[in-house]
A and B are shown apart, each in its own frame.
Chain A
Amino acid sequence: MIDAALIWSYLTQGSLIWLTATILAFVAGDWCFRRTGRAPWANPVMLAILIIGALLLGTGTPYTTYFEGAQFVHFLLGPATVCLALPLYLNLGHVRRAALPMIAALLAGSATAVVSALAIAWAMGVRGGVLASLAPKSATAPVAIGISQQLGGEPTLTAALVLLTGIIGAIAVTPMLNALGLTDWRARGFATGVAAHGVGTARALQVNETAGAFAGIGMALNAVLTGILAPLVLHLFQ
C-alpha cells in the first residue's frame, strides 16, 4: 500500500495530525481520570503525555516535528497565565481577611520548596541546566516554563517536573496533613496551592470548597514569588 504510506508520511510532517493527536490523547486521558473517580494518580495530562510519547517513539517521529503542530496549543500558556488574574481578583476578599498568615505561609512554603529541592538534587550531583529546570517546579506550569527558559533550563524537563510535583502533592496532601493534625481548611488549601500548583488545587477543590479557594490563591501568589525566588536560590547553588 504505497498510497497509504505516502499519505501517512505527508500527514506526519504537517501540523494537523499532531494537533489532533494532542487533543485526542487528552480526551482519552480525561476519560480515564473520570472513570477512576478523579484519582490523583490517573492525572489526565500525565496519561496524555504517555500516549503521545509512546506514539512518537513508536513511529520514530522527532519531538521537534511533533511540536511544530502542538505549538498552537502550547502558545496559549502565556495568555492563560495572564488570565490567572481572574481567580486572584475573585479571591481578594479572602486575601485581605487572612493577609498575615498567607504572607507568612507563602514565604515559608515557597522558600522550602525551592531550597529543599535544589539542595537535595545538588547533593546528589545534579548541576547546570538540569538544576535550573528543577528550580521553579512548584510554580504553575506556564510560569515555571517561562522561568526555566530565563534561567537557562530545559523547558520540556521543567514541564514534566512540574507535573510530577503536582501529582505527588495531590496524592500525599490529605493523609499527611491529617497525620500532622492540621484542621484549618484555609491553611491546608493554601499550602497545597503554593507547593503543588493547579494539580494540587484541583485536589483541594475535591476535598473542601474553602480549601480549594485558598489553594487557588496560593498557586497565583506563588507564581509571582517563584519568579523572584527561583533565580536567587539557584544562584546560591552555582
Chain B
Amino acid sequence: MPPLLAAILTIFLFQLGGEVLTRFAHLPIPGPVIGMVAMAAGFVLSPRLLALVRPVAQTLLGHLSLLFVPAGVGIVSQIDVIRQQGVALILALVVSTLLAIAVGAVVFELVARATGNPPPEGAERRK
C-alpha cells in the first residue's frame, strides 16, 4: 500500500476504534481523544507505527488552526445567544482563563519545589 494511504487509513482506524469504544462503553470522552491516547501508546510500542504516521500527522497539525474556521463561522447562527448572554459568557471566559493559568502555574512551581524537581539544565529561568 502507498505510505500516504496507509498513514491516512491508520489514523482513520484509530479514530473509528475510539468512536466505537466510546459508543459501546458509554464513555463521556470523545472517540478521537481515545484514538489519540491509543495512538500515543502505539507509538511507544511500535517505532514502525510512528514512522508511518509522523509525516501525515505533522502536515495535519501544521494546519490545525484552519480546521477551526467552519465551526467558528457558526457563531453567525448564534447571534441571539450572544445578544442575550454575551456579557456573562465573556466575563466567565476572562476570569476563568486567567484564574486557571495562575492556579496551574503556581501549583506546578509549589509541587516542583516540594518534590525537589528544579528546572533541568539548559531550561533556565526567566531573567
Contacts and interface: CB of A to CB of B under 8 A. Distances in A.
B5 interface: no
Interface string A198-238: 10100000001010000000101001100110110000000
B21 interface: no
A82 B104 contact: no
Given A52-B69, A63-B76, A83-B57, A117 B117 contact: no
Contact of A120 (B53, B61, B96): B96
Nearest to B29: A227
- The secondary structure that dominates the B interface is helix
Interface string B100-127: 1111111111011001010110011110
- The secondary structure that dominates the A interface is helix
Interface string A96-125: 011011101110111011101110110011
A101 B87 CA distance: 35
B111 A100 contact: yes
A132 interface: no
A228 B34 CA distance: 12
B84 to A, nearest CB: 9
B24 interface: no
A79 interface: yes
Chain A interface size range: 35 or more
Nearest to A139: B33
B28 interface: yes
Interface residues of B, number: 79
B119 A130 contact: no
A134 B112 contact: no
B36 A145 contact: no
A83 B15 CA distance: 10
A126 B126 contact: no
Contacts of B104: 105-106, 108-110, 112, 187, 190-191, 194-195, 218
B1 interface: no
A236 to B, nearest CB: 14
A70 B42 CA distance: 32
B117 A89 contact: no
11 contacts: A81-B35, A86-B43, A105-B104, A116-B99, A120-B95, A161-B93, A168-B94, A169-B98, A185-B119, A224-B37, A227-B28
Given A48-B72, A49-B73, A77-B68, 4 more contacts: A79-B8, A154-B78, A159-B71, A184-B109
Closest 9 CB pairs of A and B: A156-B74, A109-B104, A146-B30, A191-B104, A70-B70, A227-B29, A124-B88, A187-B108, A159-B71
